[in-house]
Chains A and B, each alone.
Chain A
């Protein structure tokens, strides 16, 4: 095993260019650099097609970069891939397993490929699937399959775990249960975790630091709190009204930098539209908004001050919404 003085992952100027069918090229990664320390929970946050999976697969050694440098615990995957494979655990975004082996048999088989391994029963207990040991993967629910994928990533007791969108497609209950499990692995077992996601709440809740990635470039890297604190504004205010109002009036209020409206549909009990005000100071903005509504006899409902989120950070960095 490598010295723990080395960072868990170090990526420098990574570029990946794919040929496009029909001619031309696609620059999936455009010179990204970042570093993940040992024991850190690191998130790569970006929309689909941002380059997250490509970056992860290059780091894991199953895809070759066009240029740039990668080190995993000080080892270059291009020079010593076998060593890297022994030190890492990987949960792929879409992985299948042998269809006619039970999940316990698959873990036994995968574990046998490594010099050090964790016991199958311990792994199944960790991910809450001990009672499903004799099931085939296809007989597990979506959430259980994701948990099993995490168990398979842990068979060699890796120092660094890569998780590619582990909760995509899961219902909220399963997502929270998987988050709790990942927190335990990081906090209690000291595993370094690198996770890609397009759920901003996932990155915000789990990651010590987050890299915002879009169109193959990293916009910013910091703790979620620092990224949000660095926003130009302070989140936004949301409310509905009993009648339509002019957004230009709202945008002109003190403490407000912009106003937008979103239709709630004709039958909504909330009113016809929801208004969103980008704000610089919540106290000033709320005071001026209340004064404005009283002066015009407008009834506001569901008034809410929403603090800044990574969604706002992404919007500010890229000019696009995370879910576009």
Chain B
């Protein structure tokens, strides 16, 4: 068995389980759908920054779309893999020639694809509900950004599952990590509204630059090349977290 074929077999099995999982369908369809329905209620609201006027629905559909995919996917995944660890699935897999790295990649691939589908659907429905989302080539440009977003979110899940001793602890840590992100990544409010020092720090938080990139692409039709620094920060976080995931979600005690 080659490393690639083993990983692909795991990815295929993971996809089959995702398609059979009611929780995965709820994460992918029901929760984003309910969120969009609520955002629609605020479709007339706008807020101003200096000379700029921003429609709330544009801002939230893009921000919550990106962070929602990262965290929603991560929550569901974390529940799964921390249960594997507690229930003995991980221990059983560790007795096969499969490595922790192969398991991580095999599980992440279908979740990443699911993340792409979710964000495209989320933006499309947001557009139908009145958000000023460009639905042309911009959506294709969003895909590489969302690859970074989903890999980052899933790596965080692996790290949390690796360092916590029970699914309950994992859930508590996940909540503690997730909530501040809604505030400091510019998901709900523009970074310009923050104090200057916090705005500077927020640039280096994992999802901040990626959310700004998606907004720039789908709301203003700007090219990805305008967001080199933001994407670089995102890639550094993703790489670091993937490496951390491989080190913390280990097989041998």
Binding site for B on A (CB under 8 A): 57, 60-64, 81-82, 85-86, 88, 90, 92, 94-101, 105, 109-110, 112-115, 152
Contact = CB atoms under 8 A, between A and B. Distances in A.
B96 A113 contact: yes
B92 A96 contact: yes
B16 interface: yes
Interface of B: 1, 5-6, 9-10, 13, 16-17, 20-21, 84, 87-89, 91-92, 94-98, 251-253
The 6 closest A-B pairs by CB, nearest first: A96-B87, A100-B17, A95-B92, A100-B20, A95-B88, A113-B96
B87 A114 contact: no
Nearest to B5: A112
Contact of A113 (B21, B89, B98, B252): B98
Contacts of B88: 92, 94-96
Contacts of A86: 97
A160 to B, nearest CB: 13
B96 A85 contact: yes
23 contacts: A57-B253, A63-B253, A64-B252, A64-B253, A85-B96, A86-B97, A94-B88, A96-B87, A96-B88, A98-B89, A99-B17, A100-B17, A100-B20, A101-B13, A101-B16, A105-B16, A109-B9, A109-B13, A112-B1, A112-B5, A113-B9, A113-B96, A115-B1
Given A96-B89, A98-B89, A62 B9 contact: no
Nearest to A82: B97
Contact of A109 (B10, B20, B95): B10
B9 A112 contact: yes
B97 A113 contact: yes
Nearest to B96: A113
Contacts of B96: 85, 110, 113-114
Nearest to B98: A113
Contact of A114 (B10, B89, B97): B97
A271 B252 CA distance: 56
A86 B97 CA distance: 7
A90 B92 CA distance: 8
Given A62-B91, A100-B16, 13 more contacts: A57-B253, A62-B95, A62-B253, A85-B95, A92-B95, A94-B88, A95-B88, A95-B89, A95-B91, A98-B17, A110-B96, A112-B5, A113-B96
Classify the interface of chain B: helix, strand, loop or mixed: helix
Nearest to B18: A100
A303 to B, nearest CB: 48
A62 B94 contact: yes
Nearest to A113: B96
Contacts of A57: 253
A63 B95 CA distance: 11
A60 B9 contact: no
A101 B252 contact: no
A112 B17 CA distance: 17
Nearest to A109: B13
Contacts of A109: 9-10, 13
Contact of A63 (B9, B17, B252): B252
Contacts of B5: 112
Nearest to B8: A112
A92 B92 CA distance: 7
A57 B92 CA distance: 11
A194 B87 CA distance: 24
A98 B6 contact: no
Contacts of B13: 98, 101, 105, 109
Contacts of A81: 252
Contacts of B89: 95-98
A99 B5 CA distance: 22
B21 A114 contact: no
A60 B95 contact: yes
Contacts of B87: 96
A106 to B, nearest CB: 8
A101 B10 CA distance: 12
A51 to B, nearest CB: 15
B252 A61 contact: yes
A302 to B, nearest CB: 44
B1 A100 contact: no
A98 to B, nearest CB: 6
Given A96-B92, A98-B89, A113 B16 contact: no
A101 B18 CA distance: 10
Contacts of A115: 1
A113 B92 contact: no
Contacts of A92: 88, 91-92, 95
A81 B94 CA distance: 11
B252 A62 contact: yes
A100 B253 CA distance: 27
B161 to A, nearest CB: 15
A147 to B, nearest CB: 15
Nearest to B14: A98
